[in-house]
Chain A
Amino acid sequence: MKKGLMLAAATLGMVFCWLMVMGCGESGQPFAGTYRSVEPYAGKGHIELELKENGEATWKLAQEGQAIRFKWRAEGGQLWFYTKEGGIILATPSDGGKKLNVDMTGQWHPSCPRSNCITFERVKAGSF
């Protein structure tokens, strides 16, 4: 029974160590910064996208007062934006991280579909 308990404890230890490692994930630091949409969106001006190093992000339309908050991370060379409802928006960096192509369909595509793609340019790199 003692051996069983030790194994169960070891199992739990492994799980939490792995989760801690997983929680760290790929560093998003190279992509942190402030981005601005190349085109105006929905007739309400440009979108300002701010990606913070701590995994927080804000999305703000120029003519709307309120910023939308969500979480983000980098993995597999892509940026993953998580809405609070559980939706995922994928963004693909290009030009060494100076540009972001955001696929608004909520699905993964090998390249960003033209009709649902918003392109952003980095206006400020950085740490927050």
Chain B
Amino acid sequence: MTQSDSQVEKLKLEQVGREVCIPAGVQVVRQGEIAQKFYVVLSGKLKVYRETPDGIRTDLTILGPGAYFGEVALVTGTPRTASVEAVEESTLLEITEEEFDQVLDQNPKLARQIISSLAKWLVEGDKRLEKETVHQVKLRQISLFDYVLILGLSLVLALVFNLYNDNQIPLIFHVGNLSGVQEVPLKQAEELYKNKQAIFVDARKSNFYEQEHIKGALNLPVVFFDLQFPMFQFMLEQEKVPKDEPLLVYGGTYSRRFDLELARLLKEKDYNVMVLQGDYSAWKRAFPLERHKAQELSAMPLDFGGYLEWLPVGIFVLILIPPVWRSPYLSGACRLILGIIFVLFALSKIMRPAVFALNVVDYDMMPSWGVNLWSLFLPWAEMMAGLFLILGIRTRAAATVIGGMNIIFIVGLVHVIMQGLPITCGCVGEAGEPVTWWKVLKNTGMLVMSLQILLYDRLFTLDRGGFIWRERKI
């Protein structure tokens, strides 16, 4: 195919061929078919394009009066290299292969011109290839800026939102004044227990206490201190415990969130308070324990979010079909599903960071100084990465951020299952759902989805290579 050239008109082509009228939208030649004819455009407008087997279309050029096409396949003897379709009603001079050979034999000028056009076309093809290669390389690049944009924006928004949020939490949790609270080493605590010289108080949530606690210990969950303290007082009165009897608080987590906080609150109520020192889980090995069979946690129905979470599991079926697995349409679907899931995840946590902070503490993996920061930052990172995926901004970087978060979630969930912690996931909704291997599978599905986006996404994206729509024009 080539562009119009005035010299074509000078050649005596009218002596051969026949005029054909092509209505708008009709395909004159089809990519891949065996070539038998050569065409000269007498009037109208036609477009030349190529299409890949998975449907990606590349527009090559527009032909007008004087232009000709179909010569490449005739000269090289190969199938048609592109398709040509009439944009508007067009008139063409249709020349058969025999007539074309005859014309070439009789018109060395035309033959030279066709060779020249083919050479030009090859050079232009090289330039197009280079341009596309550069474009593809840029698409594959994920710069530090992309991460600064997503994560930095999340951090700034988290901090600003927390500043104006009614349910604001401090950036770093601080227990407050602990003066007057004696820290007791394990050996001394064992002596106190043996001699019944202190009342042991478990500061954890009731489901942790029910699962396992020091025999005879009372439970006062610090998260419901204000509401449940009267009942705790009542229990002490029932047991006829004098007010100056020492209370030894234990049951902190890795973040030491509960035991220290409860000790401080009890001290404010004028109790003689001690707290177990050192390794927060050492009491499990040192004291006689009361254990109850772990009760299965009830799951609050999650409605839309709960159903949506099952979609990523379907990816395991789709990756078995290679053409589907590599499809950019699948990337589009993955982006939409992951984006909506992560935005929903985020919205259920953003408004009340204190609730999510307790979920983070429950996982027993985060030091005290990091709990609140993580609880503020993570929902906003989920929100930003999810929105970037939906809107098509820096999708590959957003997919890696979401993939990274899924790896963290999977590690956390497996930790909870292996440790048998009686907690809810805290992933969607404030009531949460039980942590099971199904939950791990759902998160693995999301991880695979983010990998698919990273490798094959190229529809409706604004990336380093510029904006890409379905039909790529070169």
Contact = CB atoms under 8 A, between A and B. Distances in A.
A3 B391 CA distance: 12
Which secondary structure dominates chain A's binding surface? mixed
Interface string A46-83: 00000000000001010010001011000010001011
Interface in B168-226: 205-207, 221-226
B89 to A, nearest CB: 36
B225 A85 contact: yes
B298 A23 contact: no
B402 interface: no
Contacts of B467: 3
A87 B298 contact: no
Interface string B450-472: 00000000000010000100000
A70 B227 CA distance: 10
Interface stretch (A27-35, A37-45, A93-101): A37-45
Contact of B462 (A3, A15, A70, A84): A3
B234 A107 contact: no
29 contacts: A7-B462, A8-B149, A8-B393, A10-B391, A11-B384, A18-B347, A41-B231, A42-B231, A42-B234, A44-B230, A59-B226, A70-B226, A76-B301, A83-B223, A83-B226, A85-B354, A86-B356, A87-B223, A104-B224, A104-B227, A106-B205, A106-B206, A107-B206, A107-B297, A107-B424, A107-B431, A108-B298, A110-B298, A116-B206
A41 B232 CA distance: 11
B351 interface: yes
Contacts of A23: 351
A106 to B, nearest CB: 6
A108 B295 CA distance: 13
Contacts of B234: 42-44
Nearest to A87: B223
B62 interface: no
B355 interface: yes
Given A19-B350, A71-B167, A87 B383 contact: no
Interface of A: 3-4, 7-8, 10-12, 14-15, 18-19, 22-23, 41-44, 59, 61, 64, 68, 70-71, 76, 80, 82-90, 104-110, 116
B303 to A, nearest CB: 8
Which secondary structure dominates chain B's binding surface? helix
B233 A42 contact: yes
Which residue of A15, A80, A86 has the most chain B CB atoms within 10 A of its CB atom?
A: A86
A53 B118 CA distance: 79
Contacts of A18: 343, 347
Interface in B149-179: 149, 153, 157, 166-167
B342 to A, nearest CB: 12
Contact of B431 (A15, A19, A86, A90): A90
A70 B431 CA distance: 18
Contacts of A61: 230
Nearest to B228: A104
Given A42-B231, A107-B207, A107-B298, 15 more contacts: A7-B391, A7-B393, A11-B388, A18-B343, A71-B167, A82-B352, A83-B227, A85-B222, A85-B358, A104-B228, A105-B206, A105-B207, A106-B205, A108-B299, A109-B298
Contacts of B132: none
Contacts of B300: 76, 108
Which residue of A12, A15, A23, A61 has the most chain B CB atoms within 10 A of its CB atom?
A: A15
A31 B306 CA distance: 27
B230 A41 contact: yes
